[in-house]
Amino acid sequence: MPTLLIADDHPLFRAALHRAAEEAVADLQISEADSLHSVLEAIESQQIDLMLLDLHMPGNHGLAGLATIRALQPGLAIIIVSANEEPHVIRRAIDLGAAGYLPKSSGLTDLQSALLSVLDGERWIPALLREPVARVAPFSKDADLAARLSSLSAHQYRVLSLVAEGLLNKQIADRLGVQLRTVKAHMTRIMGRLGVRNRAQAIRVLHEMGLTDPARQVEAAQDA
């Protein structure tokens, strides 16, 4: 029985994906996650065949989460689900190992096609976006950034993600339920593996893999 993890921080959208996936694939075992932290816990504790991953869920930092998950579970097929339909973003996701890319504007038919195609070992991109994506040149920095991020363990990525959110070591220790010296040890290893000298440079690695969330751009414009 194939297993699917739906990773998105919006409960209603998760529920819609859940129902659609059940209709698309018979005997599909489905679980859900609302943050990258819970995604990492899920892939450590259970066998996952396929994931629908929101690029902008908490802790994901755009493509950084994709690179990290791919490093931890190379055999896991990941379909990116995003409101971002820019061809260069789709190309970056595919180059980093995504098995498919599903815009949030897609209908039920596209979701079903994406799930079935990827489960059959094929790559899936919406038909209207395939030619524009094919014309985009590879982003030269991504391979190096992904290689550095892939050297981190799941625990180290969690710590780095919280550092990027502005938390201090003591706050991170409290959040993760570990001792302060454990967080400090993680930070030392993180900086060594990323090849950086300080926290600011480590955060920059995540930010270079980050992407602007179109939905939040719309919200900001409405609030202005």
Domains along the chain?
3-134 (3.40.50.2300), 141-208 (1.10.10.10)
Record the tokens describing residue 224, joined without a space: 């202005």
pLDDT at residue 91 is higher than 50: yes
What ranges make up the beta strands (E) of 8-142? 29-33, 50-54, 77-82, 100-103
Phi, psi of 153 (to 5 degrees): -80, 170
Whole-prediction pTM: 0.79
Residue 96: pLDDT band with limits 50, 70, 90: confident
| Average of per-residue pLDDT values in the chain | 86
DSSP annotation of 48 reads: -
pLDDT (0 to 100) of residue 211? 58
Q: pLDDT tens-digit profile of 166-211?
A: 899 999 999 999 999 999 999 999 999 988 999 998 888 888 776 5
The residue ranking higher by pLDDT, 119 or 221, is 119
Residue 70: pLDDT band with limits 50, 70, 90: confident
pLDDT (0 to 100) of residue 122? 93
pLDDT at residue 223 is higher than 50: no
pLDDT (0 to 100) of residue 215? 45
Cβ–Cβ under 8 Å, residues 149 and 71? yes
Q: Give the C-alpha separation, 205 to 164, whole Å.
A: 10
Q: Cα separations (Å) of 221 from 36, 64, 84, 214, 215? A: 27, 26, 16, 11, 10
